[in-house]
């Protein structure tokens, strides 16, 4: 019997959609499209098979006289600066990330087909949800890596983050891991549906809308006495889709003009035709990944430059809090 771990590239629901897409395309005589879908499906299976041949990340592995364990891996990735991180990550993890991107692209292909062929229109929303699940999982992994890389965070929290990443790397091809950081996924889904109204610039309405159907621990995070300015500012960036600097400008203009609220069109006039964080495309869940990366890069710049504003993203701050709570 083979000792290669079993993997599931597609759930039953995903496989049914793929089969229906191929069947409809075949009936319509779209042979090139059938070939494209079939080839991409086979490539995903080949990539998953290759990844599964690499040693387990969680089990102990010995080469000559050196023993590698999950503990030694966590120590290795937690003690190095960012430029060295990529060379400390197991090959299985690197290929697994490429696999996730490949699956996202495959699902995007199915989404394009389903929304352009009436017989497949019923799958449009389902495929979009599948895309979002994969994008959010990849983004959550980036959040945990950002925590691991930040040497200013306590070792205990960084080790917890590294442990979670390692499990995600190991079980990426196993449908037993359906959601990675579900609280983040819920908040990202809520943010994807949200169009900020600006108004008093306090964000209460938006925060209330985001908080529906969210885990109770979310309110534990918000109601802490030690909630820092960095956490508040990073949450505002997340809610409004604007940089800290742009929010400061809007509030300054409100004060100068003696206004108590701003309409959306007024805010856009003040900011000009272009602002730092591009507008969200609610139909494209990849936008949330881009949003996180943009906010992360701005925070890193502020930290290096020693200027005011949040140095970490909202996601990093939230997960740092969750990882500090024993349960």
pLDDT over 90, % of the chain: 42
Q: Tell me the H-state helices in the chain.
A: 12-27, 31-52, 70-78, 82-85, 91-116, 124-149, 155-170, 182-192, 204-211, 217-222, 229-240, 244-256, 264-271, 286-305, 314-324
> Is the confidence at residue 176, as pLDDT, over 60?
no
Q: How far is 177 from 8, CA to CA, in rounded Å?
A: 11
Q: Identify the sign of the CA torsion 182, 53, 72, 79.
A: negative
Q: State the CB neighbour count (10 A cutoff) for residue 238.
A: 27
Q: Which residues pair with 67 in a beta bridge?
A: 62
Averaged pLDDT of the chain:
85
> Is the confidence at residue 268, as pLDDT, over 90?
no
> Is the confidence at residue 194, as pLDDT, over 80?
no
Please give the pLDDT value at position 32.
Answer: 95
Q: How far is 115 from 248, CA to CA, in rounded Å?
A: 41
Residue 66, exposed/middle/buried by CB under 10 A (0-12, 13-18, 19+)?
A: exposed
**Cβ-based neighbours of 46, under 8 Å, separated by 6 or more:** none
**Cβ-based neighbours of 1, under 8 Å, separated by 6 or more:** none
Q: What is the DSSP letter of 262?
A: B
- CB-based contact 88:80 (threshold 8 Å): yes
> Is the confidence at residue 326, as pLDDT, over 60?
yes
Q: How far is 276 from 261, CA to CA, in rounded Å?
A: 22
Q: How far is 143 from 292, CA to CA, in rounded Å?
A: 8
Q: State the CB neighbour count (10 A cutoff) for residue 309.
A: 20
> Is the confidence at residue 68, as pLDDT, over 70?
yes
Whose tokens are 């900020």? That residue is 196
């Amino acid at each position: 019997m083979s000792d290669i771990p079993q993997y599931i590239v597609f759930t039953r629901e995903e496989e049914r959609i793929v089969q229906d897409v191929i069947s409809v395309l075949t009936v319509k005589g779209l042979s090139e499209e059938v070939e494209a879908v079939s080839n991409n499906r086979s490539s995903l299976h080949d990539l998953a098979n290759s990844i599964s041949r690499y040693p387990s990340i969680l089990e102990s592995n010995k080469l000559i006289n050196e023993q590698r364990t999950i503990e030694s891996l966590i120590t290795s990735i937690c003690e190095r600066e960012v430029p060295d991180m990529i060379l400390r990550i197991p090959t299985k993890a690197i290929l697994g990330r490429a696999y996730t991107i490949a699956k996202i692209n495959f699902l995007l292909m199915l989404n394009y087909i389903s929304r352009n062929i009436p017989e497949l229109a019923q799958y449009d929303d389902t495929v979009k949800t599948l895309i979002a699940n994969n994008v959010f999982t990849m983004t959550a992994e980036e959040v945990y890596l950002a925590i691991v890389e930040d040497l200013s965070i306590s070792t205990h929290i960084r080790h917890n983050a590294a442990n979670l990443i390692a499990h995600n790397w190991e079980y990426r091809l196993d449908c037993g891991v359906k959601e990675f950081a579900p609280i983040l996924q819920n908040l990202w889904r809520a943010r994807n549906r949200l169009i900020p109204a600006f108004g008093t610039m306090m964000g209460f309405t938006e925060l209330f809308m985001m908080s529906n159907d969210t885990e109770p621990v979310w309110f534990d995070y918000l109601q802490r006495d030690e909630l820092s300015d960095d956490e508040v500012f990073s949450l505002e960036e997340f809610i409004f889709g604007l940089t800290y600097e742009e929010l400061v400008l809007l509030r300054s203009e409100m004060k100068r003009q003696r206004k108590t609220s701003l309409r959306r069109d007024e805010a856009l006039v003040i900011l000009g035709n272009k602002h730092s964080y591009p507008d969200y495309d609610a139909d494209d869940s990849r936008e949330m990944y881009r949003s996180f990366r943009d906010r992360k890069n701005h925070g890193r710049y502020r930290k290096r430059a020693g200027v005011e504003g949040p140095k970490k993203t909202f996601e990093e701050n939230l997960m740092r809090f969750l990882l500090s709570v024993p349960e």
